[in-house]
Amino acid sequence: MVEIPLDKLAAALAPHGLILRGGFEFGENDELSGTLVLVGSAGDGWWQPFQDWLSEEGRSTDNPLDSWTREIVGALAADHGARLIMPNDRPYAPFQQWAMRAEWLRASPLGILMHPEYGLWHSYRAALLFDAPLPDAMIQAAHNVIHACDACVGKPCLNACPVGAHSRRGFDYAGCLAHVRGEAGEACRAEGCFSRNACPVGMDWRYRSEVQAFLQTAFAGL
């Protein structure tokens, strides 16, 4: 049986600021079979490699982050006989559910998963599906993971949005979008989401403003 070459994968991803985000084996009742390994980022170390790639001639500006990811992780999939699954391809694959299984994370009140070290400053950019068992190095014990939101009394994330889009009732997507796109949403567009930035966990991993502006603009379709 083939083994998943975790070290090779990690070494190939590192120059691009991408990392392995954990994995798990699908079971009998799942929609897929094999072992899934998630690829993503922690912090914004991917920004400069991505910018360098983007500045090369002939790059399309249509979903550039996905195109960049597809180029890097797609090559790994081809080299190692894995199937590439992308988060924005339809029908949407349940990346957050997969991440919960792989890394034992839970959602913050904002919907974004809370990581014990990276806080809200991490992402899932692609997944690789292998026909091989889960390497021992990827077996993560559930009890290792502390959910920081449980101990967070003030929940500043729920009080920081200028239009109250994040509340205990959930996320008011339409309200957020209208504000971010509008005249009064300049700060949200330039500095990033106030709610996400209000979280005290993982401050060292916070994306610089330039990166937050890029992601907010993409989110708002501007």
Segment near ligand B12 (CB under 6 A); pick from 7-15, 22-30, 95-103, 132-140:
95-103
3-state percent helix, strand, coil for the chain, nearest multiple of 5 = 45, 15, 40
Determine, following the binding rule CB under 6 A, whether residue 39 of this chain makes contact with ligand B12: no
- Distance, in Å, from the CA atom of 102 to the CA atom of 128, rounded to the nearest integer, reads 13
Task: Kindly write out the interface string for residues 175-204 of this chain, putting x where it contacts ligand B12 by CB under 6 A and - elsewhere.
Answer: -x----------------x-----------
Give the x/- contact pattern for ligand B12 in 72-91, rule: CB under 6 A: ---------------xx---
Instruction: Pinpoint the alpha helices (H) of 60-206.
Output: 64-80, 95-103, 173-181, 186-191, 194-198
Q: What is the smallest separation between the CB atom of 3 and ligand B12, expressed in angstroms?
A: 27
Taking the least distance from each CB to ligand B12, the nearer of 35 and 216 is 216
Are the C-beta atoms of residues 102 and 26 closer than 8 Å to each other? no
3-state secondary structure of 184: helix
The yes or no reply on residue 97 touching ligand B12 (CB under 6 A) is: yes
Write down the least CB distance from residue 211 to ligand B12, Å.
9
Shortest CA distance to 34 belongs to which of 63, 8, 9, 2?
Answer: 2
Kindly list the residues in this chain that would bind ligand B12 in the complex (CB under 6 A). Answer: 87-88, 92-97, 110-113, 122-125, 171, 173, 176, 193, 215-216, 219
